Amino acid sequence: MPLPPPYDPYVRDCPSRRLLDRIGDRWTVLLIAALEGGPQRFSQLLRTVEGISQKMLTQTLRSLEADGLVHRTVHPEIPPRVEYELTALGRSLLAPLGALIDWATEHMGEVQSSRDAVDAR
Amino acid sequence: MPLPPPYDPYVRDCPSRRLLDRIGDRWTVLLIAALEGGPQRFSQLLRTVEGISQKMLTQTLRSLEADGLVHRTVHPEIPPRVEYELTALGRSLLAPLGALIDWATEHMGEVQSSRDAVDAR
DNA sequence: CGGCATCCGTGATGATACTG
DNA sequence: CAGTATCATCACGGATGCCG
């Protein structure tokens, strides 16, 4: 008697569900994109990622670090310097994320039009 | 004097940011995945998408409808029958979403391991 | 410079009950 | 069957102040 496949995409606890729990917040994806070009310092990221607060930057970076997507390097200098860069795992996420970004760039206009038409009523 | 490109991925209001605002919630992606196979009735979706409440199902479907990603068909019968299916636009989102789901299926184990190692401390 | 601690408002989500 | 309405909760994220 066949059991349902363990990771049907629409089931609560599948990997894709968990991934979206992680990257679905306000800043994670923006941060990954900002790190695409190479290592960045904390203060650089604070300026680059428009609108993020210090608190959320710290929190999001810690979370990405815990997930193994970002590596944190502390340079024991004065003043302190801390650099963040994507790990190999983090970089491997850039491709599928890019596919999504491309879709958004191409189609969000249609989505917006549809939404505007509804709002007009 | 060159202005910054209007849609740098890490900027607050780029299309990809807005897309993630939409699909980043708890249910949207699961619902799109559940609709991949074809039209589904409300009560079917309620059973298929494990753990979703009636309220969130309604709300998420309405939102997807407003975005032009899902079409809603009411069959004037008794008892009432309502079917939901992906629009062409909605189906076009399946590919990039699939890429993300594939990444998750392949790599969420590593992410989980990394996270477990951190939690252990 | 690169954080952490605290307080707090708001929106997203869930549970429950009712309806055409 | 396919919703709507109401209430309760809780995590997300912003603001502010302090520290090594």
* B61-114 per-position pLDDT tens digit: 999 999 999 999 999 998 899 999 999 999 999 999 999 989 999 999 999 999
Two structure tokens written together for B30: 């699961």
- Largest CA-CA distance found in chain A, in angstroms, rounded: 66
* B2-15 per-position pLDDT tens digit: 334 445 667 767 88
For residues A64 and A19, the answer to whether their CB atoms sit within 8 Å is no
How near does any CA of chain B get to the CA of A100, in Å? 5
The arithmetic mean of pLDDT across residues A88-102, rounded, is 94
Q: How many angstroms separate the CA of A42 from the C1' of D13?
A: 19
Contact B15 A105 (CB under 8 A): yes
- Distance CA(A39)–CA(A71), nearest Å, equals 9
Q: Which domains, and CATH codes, for chain B?
A: 15-120 (1.10.10.10)
Residue A4 has pLDDT above 70, yes or no: no
- Distance CA(B16)–CA(A117), nearest Å, equals 21
State pTM to two decimals: 0.89
- Distance CA(B112)–CA(B121), nearest Å, equals 15
Tell me what percent of the residues of chain A surpass a pLDDT of 90: 69
Q: How many angstroms separate the CA of A57 from the C1' of D2?
A: 43
The pLDDT confidence band at residue A8, using thresholds 50, 70 and 90, is low
For residues A51 and B12, the answer to whether their CB atoms sit within 8 Å is yes
**Residues in contact with strand C, defined as Cβ under 7 Å from any of its atoms:** A 41-43, 54-55, 58, 61-62, 72, 79-82; B 25-27, 51-56, 79-80
The arithmetic mean of pLDDT across residues A100-120, rounded, is 92
Contact A24 B22 (CB under 8 A): no
* A32-87 per-position pLDDT tens digit: 999 999 999 999 999 999 889 999 999 999 999 999 999 999 999 989 999 999 99
In terms of residues, how long is chain B? 121
